[in-house]
Amino acid sequence: MKVSIITISYNSASTIEDTIKSVISQNYSDLEYIIVDGGSTDNTLEIINKYKDKIFKLISEPDKGIYDAMNKGVGIATGEIIGIINSDDFYIDDNILREVVNQFEKADTDAVYGDIVYVDREDISKHVRYWKAGEYAEKKLNYGWIMPHPAVFIKKEIYNKFGLFNLDFKIAADYELLLRFLKHGMKISYLPKTLVCMREGGYSASGLGRRKAGWAELKKAWLVNNLSVSRFFILRRILHKVNQYFV
């Protein structure tokens, strides 16, 4: 099964090399690597070009935000399976893609997901919190549960059937996309291990104002999919995240 991995970047010189190395070192040969850069003005492109022989496609141009960039990557991907790992993140070991593909084959599924660990931005050996996704149950969605997007791999045919990232969402389009796919019956399989290390302090977590805007978009995701938002939805989601610091 061919796997397409997409990395989104913008002025990511301090972190993207870790991302690239973690992808190209995977012990899985049927892989195409796509990087979609938003027109970086630092030396991000210089770093990327060090590995150009390992990169299937590089796009560097202005975009309408990270989700527009993700849509570009999905659009040109030719793999049967698509994974998206951003330029702050990296795979925890070199066997991730092999294990993911094995899970696809064993479970006969549309998507495979695992866990992520948040690491300190400056000291990536320091684990800050652990997102153990656990097995899927539909009722868990009412408590704010969703798979961790950087650790989700989805067949391209699902994007073809149910659409790309909704650009009306600026912060939570990944949540809306996964919710939409699940409500349309996407079959998913849990791989119970940490797949991705994610640097703490991402785009959606930068400041109280952005957090509030993100919560509003989570509710909006339910409404645009003709779903009723459960009572205390946001509070339940917050409590779930707090628990990640004590795992």
pLDDT tens across the length of the chain (247 residues): 999 999 999 999 999 999 999 999 999 999 999 999 999 999 999 999 999 999 999 999 999 999 999 999 999 999 999 999 999 999 999 999 999 999 999 999 999 999 999 999 999 999 999 999 999 999 889 888 999 999 999 999 999 999 999 999 999 999 999 999 999 999 999 999 999 999 987 554 455 677 788 778 988 998 999 988 776 566 656 655 655 555 5
Cβ distance 129 to 118 under 8 Å?
yes
The structural domain count of the chain equals 1
Length of the chain: 247
Is beta strand 57-60 parallel, antiparallel or unpaired with respect to 81-84? unpaired
- The neighbour count for residue 185, using CB atoms within 10 Å, is 10
**pTM, entire model:** 0.91
> What's the confidence (pLDDT) of residue 204?
47
Q: Give the largest Cα separation in the chain, rounded.
A: 51
Tokens 């590995």 sit on residue:
51
Long-range residue pairs from 11-14, CB within 8 A, at least 24 positions apart, any chain = 11/40, 11/41, 11/42, 11/44, 12/40, 12/42, 12/44, 12/87, 12/88, 13/40, 13/42, 13/43, 13/44, 13/46, 13/47
Which domain covers residue 191, as residue numbers?
A: 3-246
Backbone angles phi and psi of 36, in degrees to 5: -115, 110
Burial of 198 (0-12, 13-18, 19+ CB in 10 A): buried
- CATH number of the domain bearing residue 94: 3.90.550.10
Is residue 36 within 8 Å of residue 72, measured between CB atoms? yes
